[in-house]
Structures are given as structure tokens and as C-alpha cells.
């Protein structure tokens, strides 16, 4: 039986409020064997108090050893099995620039490239143009018209743009046209089924037109397309969990992921303090809040241990403001680990704390990876976090008599 079927069968709506605070890439590693992680190094009296009163554990976003991207990492926290619900690269790129993709869309990641007189690719990234030039080239591409579909082109940055075809019966089983090597022509797009062949035909027309409109604009005189993806069919969090859910995120990608599961996207401003103000003013209108904090991931990706520690300490400082609102369930976790030692996302389990009045206390007195390992939640698949949140919020009835 599917997890969502059980939840839909057992769920009971009430006014209790759940806050899911996601510190992106929260988990870390010590720089030296036996040392402390970023979270363990940070001075976090407020998180420690929450951990001490609540219950802690380590979540596995996907499976042991599997490093998640932001999409699967967040879907799991939102209660969606990341192995069942997959989000294609094109859709994620579109979400990342706040493009509102819909059910009739195929979203595609585009790259500007350079081709020589014979049409062979000489630079797969067109010498990494400035983002301004990217926007100017996209303005040219926007003029391309293809009968039967709407075409949208939006710049991302440097050589990257998002291309969306909107129309009926468009599939996404289409190959990438980037041959992955210089000295070769871009590949022709071809589709695996009828709907995808339709998309491929449109894509090949677009590429031909792109060559025409960009033709003299060296070095950005051609494009390659990859990650063809239709909008995934996902039930909303309201449909599955019965939540009135709101997202308070600064970065477009996370707003997009929240929109994907039907959350209302609140204008979050650009700072953590803005986010907390928004939370406060929206408090009465929703019963589930997703707060996203990006900087624990970006500092980890930069390999900057000290900066990650600092960003964790900054996050700790807003915890009293959240608690002042009297949430019934407050969860602090990450969508994956981003150890500054590795400068990338990793597969290591993610420190997680859940605070509510119905927690069975464990021996954890501070929020950190080693302490979480001793916590009452144990190591668990992240997709179960929402069931735990619902249970602690009195939103799940008994299973069976």
C-alpha cells in the first residue's frame, strides 16, 4: 500500500500548526577524523534547547549512499518518495528562474555554444558569455515562432537558458542534443514515442531557427538542448496531507519546488529576518509553513567551514522568534548534507530535530550529527518525516481498529 494512500485514509484536519525549517545542506563532516562538524562547532543555544526538549535523529533523503539533488531532497521532506516522484532537469531549471511551468509544458535546459563554418561545435559553452549577453541572445530567440506550440525562452546565466514549449500532446522522451564533445555537430533531437516525436520535431525546428537568428553572433551562434521534461503529475500537499501550506523561501528553485506540491508561495523578501516577518504575518492563514534557508548549503559548496558555522549560528538566532508564535510542531532539518570538506552535496544522513509536546525525550542535549545518532528518531527515510509531523500535530487517526 502506498504511503500516501495510508495518510489520506487516516488524516484528520485540525488547526494545529507545523513549521518545517529546512537549512539546505545542513549535515556536514569534521575536517579531521575525530573532529567536529560545522553544526557541532556552531554555538546554537536555541537549537540545542529544541533538541533537548524534542526528539532527534538522522534522515536519509533517498537511500544509503545516494547523494540527492535539491529536488529529491525537498520532495522527501515534503513527504513524497523521491524514487517515485522524479523531476526532470528542464523543469528544475524552469523552477529555478521562477518560470511558472504547467501541465502542457515541456521544459528544456538550453546552452549557447559556438559552431564553426562546417557546423561543428568548437566551444560547448560559447566561451561562457556574460549574463547580459545571455539575456540579449535570449531576446533574439524569443522571436522564434513555431506553428502549433507557444515558445518561451528565458535567460538563466552565462551560457544557460530555459526553453519551454507549451502545447498539447508534447512528450519528454527526447535525447539531449549536446554531443558532449567538441568537433562534432549538435545531435538531432528524436523522440521515443508519438508525443515525444512531436516535441523532437518542434525542437529541431527551433534549433534550425536559432542557427538562423544567431548565425553571425560569434561566439554564441548556436544552441544545444538537454533535459527535456514535462511537469510531473504530483498531488498537492493539501490533497495528500490536508495542509493549508505556505512556502517562505528566498531562492526561486525552492519556491518552484514548493509550488510543485501546491504550496502557496509567500513573498519572502531577501533576508532571514524578512522571512520571519512574513511567517509572523501569515501565521493565522495557514497550518503548514516551509521555511527555506539557503546559506548552509552555499557555504558548504564553497568549502568554507567557518562561514557555514557562522550561517548556522545566524539561523539559531531566529529560533526564539519562531517559537514565540507557538507552533505545535517545529522541525529543523536539511534536504541533504553539504560538508564543506567535500564542497558538494553528499550522501551522509541529515541531522533532524522534531519538537512538539508529544515527543518522547531522548538523551540528546544538543543539535549535532553525533548526538542525533543517539536520538529517538534513529536513522529514518526522510519521506516519513511528514507522517511524524502529522502524528505530533494530532492529524493522523489510528490505523485499523
Q: Which residues, 300 to 359, sit near its own copies by CB under 8 A?
A: 339, 341-342, 344-349, 358-359
Binding residue (CB under 8 A) for its own copies from 23, 29, 149, 261 = 29
Q: Can you say how many angstroms the Cα of residue 243 is from the centroid of all Cα atoms in its chain?
A: 20
Least CB distance to its own copies at residue 376 (A): 6
| Neighbour count for residue 14 (Cβ, 10 Å) | 12
Piece in contact with its own copies (CB under 8 A), picked from 29-37, 216-224, 267-275, 276-284: 29-37
> 213 or 373, CB closer to its own copies?
373
- What are the C-alpha distances in Å from 176 to residues 71, 142, 160, 295, 305? 20, 21, 14, 32, 37
Of 133-141, 183-191, 198-206, 368-376, the window that binds its own copies (rule: CB under 8 A) is 368-376
Q: Which of 43, 86, 285, 343 binds its own copies (CB under 8 A)?
A: 86
Site for its own copies in 210-239 (CB under 8 A): 227
Query: Which grid cell sits at 275?
Result: 522571512
Here the cell at position 196 is: 515525444
Q: Tell me the pairing of strands 245-248 and 264-265.
A: parallel
Question: For helices 252-260 and 70-77, what crossing angle results, to 10°?
Answer: 50
The set of cell numbers assigned to 18 is: 507545523
Contact window for its own copies (CB under 8 A) among 119-127, 154-162, 209-217, 375-383 = 375-383
Half-sphere exposure in the Cβ direction for 220 (13 Å, CA): 22
Is residue 154 a contact residue for its own copies (CB under 8 A)?
no
CA gap 376, 56 in Å, rounded: 6
By beta-carbon proximity to its own copies, the closer residue of 174 and 377 is 377
**By CB under 8 A, residue 176 contacts its own copies:** no
366 binds its own copies (CB under 8 A): no
- Report which DSSP code applies to 54: S
Residues 39-68 that bind its own copies (CB under 8 A): 52-53, 58, 62-68
Q: Are 337 and 349 in contact (CB under 8 A)?
A: yes
Tell me the CA distances in angstroms from 167 to 149, 159, 357, one per residue in order: 5, 26, 50
Q: Which of 8, 11, 30, 187 binds its own copies (CB under 8 A)?
A: 30
Query: Does 283 engage in binding with its own copies (CB under 8 A)?
Result: no
| Site for its own copies contains 380 (CB under 8 A) | yes
3-state secondary structure 120-172: CEEECCCCCCCHHHHHHHHHHHCCCCECCEEEEEEEEECCEEEEEEECCCCCC
**CB nearer to its own copies: pick between 255 and 392:** 392
Check binding of 205 to its own copies (CB under 8 A).
no
Candidates 15-23, 89-97, 299-307, 310-318; binding stretch for its own copies (CB under 8 A) = 89-97
Least separation, in Å, of the C-beta of 288 and its own copies? 15
Amino acid at each position: 500500500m502506498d504511503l500516501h494512500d495510508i495518510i489520506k485514509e487516516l488524516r484528520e484536519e485540525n488547526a494545529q500548526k507545523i513549521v518545517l525549517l529546512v537549512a539546505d545542506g545542513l549535515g556536514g563532516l569534521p575536517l579531521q577524523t575525530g573532529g567536529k562538524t560545522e553544526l557541532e562547532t556552531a554555538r546554537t543555544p536555541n537549537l540545542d534547547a529544541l533538541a533537548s526538549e524534542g526528539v532527534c535523529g538522522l534522515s536519509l533523503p533517498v537511500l544509503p549512499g545516494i547523494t540527492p539533488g535539491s529536488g529529491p531532497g525537498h520532495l522527501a521532506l515534503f513527504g513524497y518518495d523521491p524514487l517515485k516522484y522524479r523531476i526532470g532537469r528542464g523543469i528544475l531549471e524552469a523552477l529555478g528562474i521562477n518560470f511558472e511551468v504547467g501541465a502542457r509544458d515541456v521544459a528544456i535546459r538550453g546552452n549557447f555554444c559556438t559552431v564553426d563554418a562546417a557546423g561543428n561545435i568548437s566551444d560547448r559553452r560559447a566561451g561562457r558569455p556574460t549574463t547580459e549577453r545571455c539575456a540579449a541572445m535570449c531576446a533574439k530567440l524569443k522571436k522564434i515562432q513555431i506553428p502549433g506550440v507557444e515558445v518561451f525562452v528565458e535567460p538563466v546565466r552565462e551560457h544557460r537558458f530555459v526553453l519551454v514549449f507549451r502545447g498539447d500532446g508534447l512528450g519528454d522522451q527526447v535525447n539531449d542534443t549536446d554531443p558532449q564533445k567538441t568537433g562534432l555537430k549538435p545531435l538531432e533531437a528524436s523522440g521515443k514515442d508519438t508525443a515525444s516525436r512531436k516535441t523532437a520535431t518542434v525542437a529541431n525546428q527551433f534549433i534550425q531557427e536559432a542557427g538562423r537568428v544567431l548565425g553571425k553572433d560569434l561566439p554564441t551562434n548556436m544552441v544545444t538542448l538537454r533535459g527535456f521534461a514535462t511537469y510531473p503529475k504530483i498531488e498537492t500537499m493539501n490533497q495528500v496531507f490536508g495542509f493549508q501550506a505556505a512556502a517562505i523561501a528566498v531562492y526561486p528553485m525552492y519556491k518552484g519546488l514548493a509550488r510543485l506540491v501546491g504550496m502557496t508561495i509567500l513573498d519572502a523578501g531577501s533576508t532571514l529576518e524578512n522571512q520571519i516577518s512574513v511567517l509572523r504575518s501569515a501565521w493565522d492563514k495557514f497550518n503548514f509553513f516551509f521555511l527555506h534557508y539557503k546559506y548552509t548549503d552555499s557555504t558548504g559548496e564553497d568549502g568554507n567551514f567557518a562561514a557555514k558555522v557562522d550561517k548556522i549560528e545566524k539561523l539559531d538566532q531566529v529560533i526564539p522568534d519562531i517559537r514565540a508564535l507557538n507552533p505545535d510542531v517545529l522541525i529543523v532539518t536539511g534536504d541533504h548534507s553539504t560538508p564543506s570538506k567535500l564542497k558538494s552535496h553528499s550522501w551522509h544522513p541529515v541531522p533532524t530535530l522534531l519538537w512538539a509536546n508529544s515527543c518522547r525525550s531522548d538523551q540528546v542535549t544538543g543539535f549535532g550529527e553525533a548526538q542525533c545518532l543517539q536520538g529517538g528518531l534513529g536513522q529514518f527515510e526522510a519521506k516519513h518525516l511528514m507522517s511524524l509531523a502529522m502524528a505530533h500535530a494530532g492529524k493522523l487517526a489510528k490505523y485499523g481498529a
